[in-house]
Chain A
Amino acid sequence: MKRLEKTAHRVGGLRNLAFFTTLAVLGVLGLLDLYVVDSLIPPSSYVYIFLIATGICYGVYPLWSARRLTTYYWRRTSKHRLALAGLVFIGLLVLIAIIGPFFTQDPTRVDFKEKNLPPVGFTVQQSIFDMSTGKFTTREIPGTLSHPLGTDDKGRDMLAMLVSGARVSLQVGFLATLVAVLIGAVLGVSSAYAGGWIDNVLMRFTDIMMTFPFFLLLVFIVFLFGPSLSFIILAIGLTGWTGVARLVRSEALSLRTRDFIVAAKGLGASSTRIIFRHLIPNVMSPIIVIATLSIPGVILAEAALSFIGLGDPSSTSWGIILNAGQSSLDTAWWIAVEPGVILFLTVLAFNFLGDGLRDAFDPRSQL
């Protein structure tokens, strides 16, 4: 027990030990996967295990160990009614995205007999070719409970498609933002801490990246490298970090001359220790706010890409459904309306939450 504590202290606390152990286990598993046995666990689980470990060690654990501060921020955030509503909506959406697909029908099942069924409570007129008489007959078709949100032009269940689209959108939103924030935070902090020519080079590089219009660059990259979901996530992350880098740099610059950093330096702390122990924790709140506020942009970017046909064709993304909906506007309006409403509400929820968090983290704002 004593030894464990000693080792933990050397890497900066128990949670770092737990985190690095998880990383090591993942690494061993990955090597086993590559060289000994085939696909021990699916490749995507590596990312998720990594994410969950990061979330517990650097999200849940600090919140728990600083309960007083957590309740303080919670009180401040929850005064923001809309932010709270946004949080509830996002929580529900995450839940639906995780467990929803087990309850809905197969979103890829095509059934032309049931195509263009309206949602429950609506009826549409459809012309149907009658084989026996050889004529078109017009019929009133009501929505059925088996397809509560209707079906698309190939008879796929809209509800199932939307639920599986939620999975895609949230994956893209969280993962791409994580990539962007990691790159931005590392570049921003090191740029501010190193100063001099390193700062100059890194910031000029940021300027060059910022000169490209975001969406045009994204289209260009996906055009060059092909549209797979994991690549789209990577592309959005690799292009979307510039704002984070600038913000983190300016925050870190103002921190660098503060007494506690100077004191730490005077006591002989290493650069790594200062960066990870003092700089990063202190720029965390603006990072959390900008991450929350950039998730909707990321989700919209993915939806827009798949809307213009540059999305992963094997996934059921909201953008892909919208694209299909545009071509059948005059026969089946709900195909275009439903994914858009969900997309809009998701973006709105993240914006509300981000605004609430910004106010909560800002000690000057009166709540």
Chain B
Amino acid sequence: MRAYIIRRLIYAAIIAWGVVTATFILLQLSPNSPADRYLASMSARGSDPAQVIAAIESRYGVNRPILVQYGEYMTNLVRGDWGWSLSTSMPVMELIKKHWIYSFQLILLSSIFAAILGIAIGVYSAIRQYSKIDYIATFFSFIGVSLPNFWLGIMLILVFSVQLGWFKTYYDTSLPIFSLANLKALVLPVITLGTGMMAGYTRYVRSSVLDNLRKDFVRTARAKGLPERRVIGKHVLRNAMLPIFTILMFDLGSIVFGGAYLTEVIFGIPGLGRISFNAVFANDYPVVITITLIGALVVLITNLVTDIAYTWLDPRVRYE
């Protein structure tokens, strides 16, 4: 067990190295190098090109051999020197520190919304399989999975903000985070991001619960005369939740980040997605790299946590 965790940590370190190296290779392959972008961005600000070139050469050492640059890139990242954001005139680290909370609250609230509703609907429609409600739930979860979430966001704005006027069309950044007024401002974004997730969870939960309902231990529990509530709550759900837990964590990387990015862009929420979006159009490449790396890092850590949590969540899984 201990050995497993240690091995898992080493493995995570290898993946982290691979991720950083992959971004470095992509940067090297890019037809317009970071230095070009830097130059374009600085000259657009009216600085003297000669000065800028000198500054770039000292900062990035573009004339040095590629391995030295690679070493520099790595050490800077590890030391927490993530570069200087030109478009906002502050270190990238500061920028991230200022804005991550907006993404965090959006993703947190959407996950809670999606998980509660998704699990409730999924369990219900599995218990009452082939009932009318099951059919409706299955159909709507299909629709929810297929709805492009950025379009859903626009439609919500069209109906509830433009036509009905219940919400503002834009996120008000002056509101304090985790306040009631802020919660109201986040209603539409949370529905936008949460609907697809919820539909996905409904489907996973339904099939997972159905799977477990057919198992022998359920028949035993029923034969013992346990009330149905206890059979479902204690025997089925506990076992059904394991794969769902994995999928919840896995979705974070593949679906939630992309969705949060678009949701932030549509509603103007100043989270990491919006920052990256602005940076892309301002040619502010350190910010774009850093946010890509942060996304990968979060996925890496959640995968690690999931795997380690599994060792005590599911005693049947053996590691050697």
Chain A residues with CB under 8 Å of chain B are: 204-205, 207-217, 219-221, 223-226, 296, 300-301, 303-304, 307-310, 322, 325-326, 329-330, 333, 336-337, 339-340, 343-344, 347-348, 351-352
Tell me if B257 counts as interface (CB < 8 A to partner A). yes
Instruction: Tell me the B24-41 residues at the A interface (CB within 8 Å).
Output: 26-27, 29-32
Q: Are B292 and A212 in contact (CB under 8 A)?
A: yes
Taking CB atoms, residues of chain B closer than 8 Å to A337 are 155, 158
Taking CB atoms, residues of chain B closer than 8 Å to A344 are 146-148, 151
A199 to B128 Cα, complex, angstroms: 44
Taking CB atoms, residues of chain A closer than 8 Å to B288 are 219-220, 223
Q: Using A219-B261, A308-B262 as known contacts, list a sample of 13 further A-B pairs with CB atoms less than 8 Å apart, ordered by residue number in A.
A: A208-B18, A208-B22, A211-B18, A212-B292, A212-B296, A213-B257, A213-B295, A219-B288, A303-B150, A330-B162, A337-B155, A337-B158, A340-B148
Instruction: Tell me the B93-134 residues at the A interface (CB within 8 Å).
Output: none
Contact of A204 with B151 at beta-carbon distance under 8 Å, contacts A213-B296, A213-B299 already known: no
A208 to B262 Cα, complex, angstroms: 24
B5-36 vs A, CB cutoff 8 Å, 1 = contact: the mask equals 00000000011001100110011011110000
Report the minimum CB–CB distance from B151 to chain A (whole Å).
Answer: 4
Instruction: Tell me the B282-305 residues at the A interface (CB within 8 Å).
Output: 285, 288-289, 291-292, 295-296, 299-300, 303
The residue that A216 contacts in the complex, of B15, B29, B147, B257, with Cβ under 8 A, is B257
Q: Are A223 and B143 in contact (CB under 8 A)?
A: no
Tell me if B157 counts as interface (CB < 8 A to partner A). yes
A213 to B265 Cα, complex, angstroms: 17
Report the minimum CB–CB distance from B198 to chain A (whole Å).
Answer: 16
Taking CB atoms, residues of chain B closer than 8 Å to A309 are 281
**Residue of chain A at shortest CB distance from B253:** A213
Q: Are A220 and B292 in contact (CB under 8 A)?
A: yes
Taking CB atoms, residues of chain A closer than 8 Å to B51 are none
A205, A223, A330, most chain B CB atoms within 10 A:
A223
Q: Could you tell me how many residues of chain B have their Cβ less than 8 Å away from some Cβ of chain A?
A: 48
Tell me if B73 counts as interface (CB < 8 A to partner A). no
Q: Are B254 and A214 in contact (CB under 8 A)?
A: yes
A-B contact count (CB 8 A): 133
Taking CB atoms, residues of chain A closer than 8 Å to B237 are none
The residue that A351 contacts in the complex, of B29, B146, B295, with Cβ under 8 A, is B146
Q: Are A343 and B18 in contact (CB under 8 A)?
A: no
A333 to B146 Cα, complex, angstroms: 22
Taking CB atoms, residues of chain A closer than 8 Å to B26 are 220-221, 224
The residue that B148 contacts in the complex, of A208, A217, A347, with Cβ under 8 A, is A347
Taking CB atoms, residues of chain A closer than 8 Å to B253 are 210-214
**Residue of chain B at shortest CB distance from A222:** B280
A221 to B26 Cα, complex, angstroms: 8
The residue that A213 contacts in the complex, of B31, B169, B258, B303, with Cβ under 8 A, is B258
Report the minimum CB–CB distance from A159 to chain B (whole Å).
Answer: 19
B133-165 vs A, CB cutoff 8 Å, 1 = contact: the mask equals 000000000110111101100110110001000
Q: Are B257 and A226 in contact (CB under 8 A)?
A: no
Q: Are A343 and B142 in contact (CB under 8 A)?
A: no
Report the minimum CB–CB distance from B33 to chain A (whole Å).
Answer: 10
A208, A325, A333, A337, most chain B CB atoms within 10 A:
A208
A139 to B23 Cα, complex, angstroms: 55
Tell me if B190 counts as interface (CB < 8 A to partner A). no
Instruction: Tell me the B62-78 residues at the A interface (CB within 8 Å).
Output: none
Taking CB atoms, residues of chain A closer than 8 Å to B145 are 351
Q: Are B262 and A340 in contact (CB under 8 A)?
A: no
Contact of A216 with B151 at beta-carbon distance under 8 Å, contacts A208-B22, A336-B158, A351-B145 already known: no
